Amino acid sequence: MSLAFLPHLVAQVGQRFADQEPERQLKSILKGWKLIEAVIPSDEDQAIALMSNFNQIEHLRSEFRTRDRSNFDLIQQLATEEGKIQEKKEILNEYLGNREKYAQKRDLLYRELLDSLNPDQQIRFMVFDRTFRKELRNTVETLSKLKEMESNKKEK
C-alpha cells in the first residue's frame, strides 16, 4: 500500500493541535506519523479511523492523568490529617471509582481500535503503543539538542 496520503493526514493532525505550544504540537505530529508508519494502514479510511481512535485514547489518558493528579493531591493532604474517617472513605472510594471508570473506557476504546485492524496491524499497534512514548521522548530530545547546537553556531 502506498502511504502517499500520509503527509496530508499528518498535516491534518498538526492543524487539529495548532492551539498547542510548539513542542506539544510537534509531539502530536510525530506521534501521528509514527503511528501510521508502525501500523501501516491498508488505506486512507483505515488510517483516519486509526488516528481518530488513537487520539480518543490519548485524550482520555490525558484527562485522566490531570484528574488523577488532582485527586491524589487531596489524598496526600488527607494522609497527614488525623480523623475524618468518613471523608477519607468517600474520597478514596471516588478515587478508586474514577480509576475503574477510566480503565473500562480505555479498554473499550482500545478494543474498538484493535477491531478495526487485521491481526498483523494489531500486533504492530500493540508494539507501537508500548514503545512510542520512549521513542518520542528520544526524538524530541534529539531535535532539542540539534536546535540548541544550531543556536550556538549562530551566536559564534
| pLDDT, tens only, 98-114 | 999 999 999 999 999 99
84 lies in a domain? Answer: yes
* Domain region containing 118: 6-155
Q: Which three cell numbers stand for residue 23?
A: 513542542
78, 87 in Cβ contact below 8 A? Answer: yes
Q: How many domains does the chain divide into?
A: 1
Q: Which three cell numbers stand for residue 83?
A: 480523623
| pLDDT value at residue 152 | 84
Question: Rounded to the nearest 10 degrees, what angle do helices 119-155 and 22-39 cross at?
Answer: 140
1 lies in a domain? Answer: no
Among 38, 30, 37, which residue's Cα sits nearest to residue 136? 30
146 lies in a domain? Answer: yes
pLDDT tens across 23-49, in order?
A: 788 888 888 888 999 999 999 999 999
127 lies in a domain? Answer: yes
54 lies in a domain? Answer: yes
37 lies in a domain? Answer: yes
25 lies in a domain? Answer: yes
| pLDDT value at residue 21 | 81
pLDDT tens across 97-156, in order?
A: 999 999 999 999 999 999 999 999 999 999 999 999 888 888 888 888 888 888 888 876
Q: Which three cell numbers stand for residue 63?
A: 484527562
| pLDDT value at residue 25 | 82
pTM: 0.74
